[in-house]
Amino acid sequence: MRVFKYSLAAAAAMALTGCIGDGNESVLQSAAAVTPAPAVLPTPTMPAADQGRVATTQGIPTGNVIFMHPDGTGLSHWAAHRMYFHGLDGTSNWDLLPQMAVYRGHLENLVAGTSHGSATTHAFGFKVDAFGSFGMDGDGNLNPPTNRAINSLSGFRGSLMREAANAGIPVGVVNDGHIGEPGTGAFLAEVGNRDNWQEITRQMILGRTGMNDTAPWVIMGGGEADALPIGATTVHRNVNQERGAAAPNLRLSLRTDNLNLIDAWNGMGSGNASNDPALRDDFIVVRTRAEFEILRQALAANPTYAPRVLGLFAFQDTFNDRNEQDLINRGFVRAGVAPGTIGPAPFKQSRLVLWGDFDPAEPGFNPPTFAEMTEVTLTILNRAAASRTQPDQRRFFLVAEQESIDNFGNNTNAIGMLHAMQDTDRAIGAALNFQRSAGNERTLILTAADSDAGNMTVLSGENVVPAGSPRSGILPPGTAPNITGTVTSNPSAVPTTGTTPPSTAVTNFVDGVEGRQSPMFVTEPDQFGNRMQFGIIWPGSADYHGGILSRAAGLNAGMLNSHFSARFDNIDVYRMKHATLFGRLLNYPTATMAPTRP
């Protein structure tokens, strides 16, 4: 072997000219004999300015805003959803949102976001107290309470949604949970306690006391129990025993006053009391799948029909947020379907009844999905915006929250979480179809999640392959998936020394298609036709900080990769929405706290 000695500078020169590794020893010797000029390294440059914090007077194009809030959704959630429904090499609608930025969700006094605190920040543009804020800052649960009414970053005496509605812009909210869940409720209500469902519901429908609020155009979700007066019978059963109810078939309003919010909504507008879309009633209430379908048919038959709609499709939530074993024990299963059975793609229907009443004879059976509610709401809001007489009112603002991702995650229900993700993805698809259609290009679609519910992660590799089996996660055709077990999270054990307690092995269960000790999840085929097994594990049931990615498409979406490429947080969610609705990017707040409303 011949050894050649040469300087690092010579090596660098040869690398640049392609001489290293080409087998030409004479060239290498020649290069070694030459002393090259010292390499000129590029001058280090300072990082680009944090454009998202730089004051600007530049005008921003205005248009519609669709804010999608898949609550509790981290990157691991999206990865699990993709592999289960689309395959490892597949593409979801969420993947088609071209602009993206890492989301920072910390609040005034907490590293991780909370549903109510983060929603308030998204709605008002200030970081607020994480523990009690709901359309206010502070904590109404303390003694004495510290909650206080605040102005938003724009200076308006209320949220961005109230500012838009009171400016004549049609607004709407959609939630597959109670309409008063923070992700939607904090945009329309201001209370000191997130559990004050009665007052939240009242403010959403009738407005804030003394503020002369314009009614939203659309409100859809659950929460019928808080819309009827004390003693009234509800259409929906309290099938999930919400809020401490004693029996699953209870049909009794949870209000403690005589306010009938359904009648109040029906009484607004022209006075048409029919509540019938076929008669073009302008304020209607829908509570069942059948009524929802009548509304859809009326919208299809009348291209200009845009009623104000209050949809209440469940006693509390449309979803059944219990773990898999609990649902099975309670009878939330589809009759005649074998345990562990999954329906064919693309829907992959679970045996478990994850949304609505489990009894097909009940009005609450098969409620409208989040995606369906979103699609109908987009149709109505777009027509309402087109009918505005003032040009600066011809845009709309929609906040759509899939609460079930968070709630299923907080109950470590993997199959529920995955189907909730798929429902969100279909809603994103509906929003993209809307934005891409002629005349709707001036629309911003923006997504964000305030936290990572359950901090789930996918388990694969050796953990899914039984001992003695071929070392591959690929599931051979015609083979049943393996049954989930446990995974060790603290494998080392040491003897007790002095006062130090022993370190013992700790195990965590692995979720399958029906929870513990059930078949593994199986991906859709990858680009080579292979389907693989995986399980899901949870470190706990809390809302974690997690890895959250905001994505966007359409009007002003590029701001995520320009203005906010260095930093994008919950305040910037508000700023992007406000800029797209009103044409000016507000400066990032310099004050630590939101200003108290006079």
Catalytic site residues? 115
Q: Is the peptide bond before 144 cis (omega within 30 degrees of 0)?
A: yes
Distance of CA 261 to the CA centre of its chain: 28
HSE-up of 592 (CA within 13 Å, CB side)?
Answer: 3
Measured N-to-C along each axis, helices 8-17 and 25-33 cross at an angle, to the nearest 10 degrees, of 130
What is the C-alpha to C-alpha distance for residues 519 and 324, in angstroms, rounded to an integer?
13
What is the C-alpha to C-alpha distance for residues 48 and 451, in angstroms, rounded to an integer?
28
Q: Which of 404, 398, 335 is nearest to 369 (CA)?
A: 404
Four-CA torsion 31, 35, 37, 41, nearest 10 degrees: 70
Four-CA torsion 458, 106, 408, 419, nearest 10 degrees: -60
Query: Strands 64-70 and 443-447: what pairing?
Result: parallel
Q: Tokens in use for 79?
A: 């990865």
Q: 3-class SS at 110? A: strand
State the first-to-last Cα distance of the chain, in angstroms, to the nearest integer.
86
HSE-up of 597 (CA within 13 Å, CB side)?
Answer: 20
The single-letter code of the amino acid at 105 is G
Q: Residue 26 burial by CB count (10 A; 0-12/13-18/19+): exposed, middle or buried?
A: exposed
Of all helices (H) and strands (E), which one includes residue 264?
helix 261-266
Residue 137 known to bind ligand: no
What is the C-alpha to C-alpha distance for residues 539 and 73, in angstroms, rounded to an integer?
15
Residue 450 known to bind ligand: yes
Residue written as tokens 């562990």? 340
Residue 401 known to bind ligand: yes
Q: Which of 534, 585, 591 is nearest to 556 (CA)?
A: 585
What is the C-alpha to C-alpha distance for residues 401 and 447, in angstroms, rounded to an integer?
10
What is the C-alpha to C-alpha distance for residues 445 and 467, in angstroms, rounded to an integer?
48
Burial 90-125 (b: 16+ CB within 10 A, else e): bebbbeebebbbbbebbbbebebbbbbbbbbbbbbb
Residue 25 known to bind ligand: no
Q: Which residues are part of a known binding site?
A: 71, 401, 406, 450
Residues of each annotated binding site for Mg(2+): 71, 401
Residue ranges at the known binding site for Zn(2+)? 71, 406, 450
